[in-house]
Chains A and B, each alone.
Chain A
Amino acid sequence: MNASNDTLAPVISARNLRKAYKNKLALDNTTFDVAPGRILGLIGPNGAGKTTALKAVLGLIPFEGDLRVLGRDPRSERDELMNDVCFIADVAVLPRWMRVREAIEFVSGVHPRFDRARCERFLHGTQLKPQMRVRELSKGMIVQLHLALVMAIDAKLLVLDEPTLGLDILYRKQFYQRLLEDYFDEQKTIIVTTHQVEEIEHILTDVMFIRDGRIVLDAPMEDVGQRYVEVLVNADRLEAARALKPIDERSLPFGKTVMLFDGVAQSQLAALGETRSPGLADLFVATMKGTYA
């Protein structure tokens, strides 16, 4: 798949983005590319610039630097761009006065790529009824409605900023499962930010860590598995292990220590103890050490 994607123009191409708020740099020479047909997780601590980066991509805010989304500049060509881009900003932004049927009628009438039958199929089997108003719905139901609306749109790029915030685990699982089974294909690109890293790492094809407005990690998930290795080091091998400069270490009970290595050969590490691929969450914690210090 990679081979075919590499030949295609990137969906997003960002060069040296800069955005300063009053006393904080939200984007600091941020540079990245996103290839089509990928599911990218944009992960960072609070205030790292995730939302700012997404807002720049969606043409919601002014910024400095060069940014192309589907070949267009979101600052000057937002109106055309929005035919191919869709986003869910976070839960509960659907207008509270709206009825379910009004929402469907509205999106159907303003979006040329909205497939009404598809939307109704997604809503079938939920508790949503056409007469219901958004304000009468639970958080989870609002997200179901929003997702049904968005998934019925044949967009090239879908941006999800904390889409499952405040939902229980059942809704969260259902959300990502739906997205993967009924929506995603090679023609589409999805960017998702969330704090529940463990829940999305198995659906991601790419991951990007952002910290203080800079991209500190940008890699396909396969590479992450190869580059980073976690080793369960026995107490007697500690010194030898530390010599290889782990990027993180934490002690477990019974004298064992878990160390995280970046770019050290597997063979070398196997001698130190049991090795495994680190979870994205552990990797994230190791990379973001000292963020709030």
Chain B
Amino acid sequence: MNAISTSAADTRNPMAPPHATHKFGLLLKREFWEHKGGFLWSPIWAGGISLLLTAMAGITGEVMLRRARDAGEGLNVNGSHMSINGLDLGMLTSKMSPEDMRQLGGAVDASLLVSSLWPFIAMTFVVFFYCLGALYDERKDRSVLFWKSLPLSDRETVLSKAVSATIVAPVIASIAALVTMFGFLLLASLLVLGHGGNPVQLLWGPGRPLSLAAQFIAAIPVYALWSLPTVGWLLLCSAWARSKPFLWALMIPVFGGIIVSWFDIMNVFNLQASWFWENVVARMLLGTVPGSWFNVAHFGHIDTDGPRAVSQALNLQSMYSVLLTPQLWIGVLAGAAMIVAAIRLRRWRDEG
């Protein structure tokens, strides 16, 4: 009988032989499939709407300028009253001093930054709620049992979610932000052209769109590391909470902060309660806000104020100075520890 069943095994082989797998890539893809609306469409919509609003504001401005001209009113520019037919930017540019040009550059950078902010704002919320639901929703709808029926370790699965939150979502949002930024620049160029100005001279030259773009890309690793405590904390809550992960995630750090403030516990370490709020509570909850690391960055010497200070503060050196701070690395360790805890919880949590 033995002989028969083994020979039967040799002949009866309807299955294809084992093939190679690419588990982690597919796990990332699976997160993207499920959260396409949040990861892809919400930054695109946010950028698109901000462009639309810009275009509408531009058109409104045009209309008002035209009305003002028709009414024969003058325009105040730098204190000197000029009565012009419309706005002649070409003439304006020719009268600008080098310092004026630098200030203009700062203003252009600042408005580029603001225009590209919307995809990041969308991403901030998307990543926050994505992490909160990542390990909770699958337990709620019991699909965790399907994922666990496949040869995927809990480590791979949870890590794929952490990578989706810290890298995939920011990369997509950055691309959307860059597209929005150049769209804004294009709209502004059209406006400038319409008024006889030279967009290269007025916008592309004084502003630094390419350098800003490079910084958006360069900020992604800083974002990934800086957001890790928040991502870890939210994933942990998501893996642990039996219900209402949002309330737990919010209440534990906030009540911790209140208790610390109330009893002045931080005095034991010769620290203010604000230290706890800033270094613990905020790091657990606000880490998904891009640029929330500005508090610890070293900006070097900023010798001016106004819009130009913004563009001066935005440089690679000050951004990567964050990588040299203990705040970042302690946060990374804390985040990693919480992710490990989330992995263990997912491994042993008994649902339904």
Contacts and interface: CB of A to CB of B under 8 A. Distances in A.
A107 B146 CA distance: 10
Nearest to B144: A93
B80 interface: no
A146 B149 CA distance: 11
Interface class of chain A by DSSP: loop
A130 to B, nearest CB: 14
Most buried by B among A7, A92, A112: A112
Interface string A38-76: 000000000000000001001011100000000000000
Nearest to B143: A95
B27 to A, nearest CB: 8
Interface stretch (B7-15, B236-244, B263-271): B7-15
B350 A110 contact: no
A110 B21 contact: yes
B103 to A, nearest CB: 50
Given A95-B143, A118-B16, A1 B1 contact: yes
A83 B23 CA distance: 13
Interface string A92-119: 1111111100100111011111111110
B67 interface: no
A89 B138 CA distance: 14
Interface string B128-148: 000000000010011101101
A185 interface: yes
A83 B21 CA distance: 12
A62 B20 contact: no
A120 to B, nearest CB: 12
Contact of B151 (A37, A82, A92): A82
Contacts of A62: 348
B76 interface: no
A192 to B, nearest CB: 15
B31 to A, nearest CB: 11
Interface residues of B, number: 38
A193 to B, nearest CB: 14
Contacts of B138: 95
Contact of A117 (B12, B16, B26, B30): B16
A57 to B, nearest CB: 12
A109 B1 contact: no
Given A93-B145, A154-B15, A185-B12, A106 B151 contact: no
Interface residues of A, number: 46
A177 interface: no
A221 to B, nearest CB: 19
Contacts of A87: 145, 149
B16 A89 contact: no
Contacts of B295: none
Nearest to A85: B149
B150 interface: yes
Most buried by B among A97, A99, A102, A110: A110
A277 interface: no
28 contacts: A3-B2, A60-B350, A79-B151, A79-B153, A82-B148, A82-B152, A89-B145, A92-B142, A93-B141, A93-B143, A95-B143, A96-B141, A98-B33, A98-B34, A105-B26, A106-B29, A109-B23, A109-B26, A110-B21, A110-B23, A111-B21, A112-B20, A112-B21, A113-B15, A114-B19, A117-B16, A118-B15, A187-B9
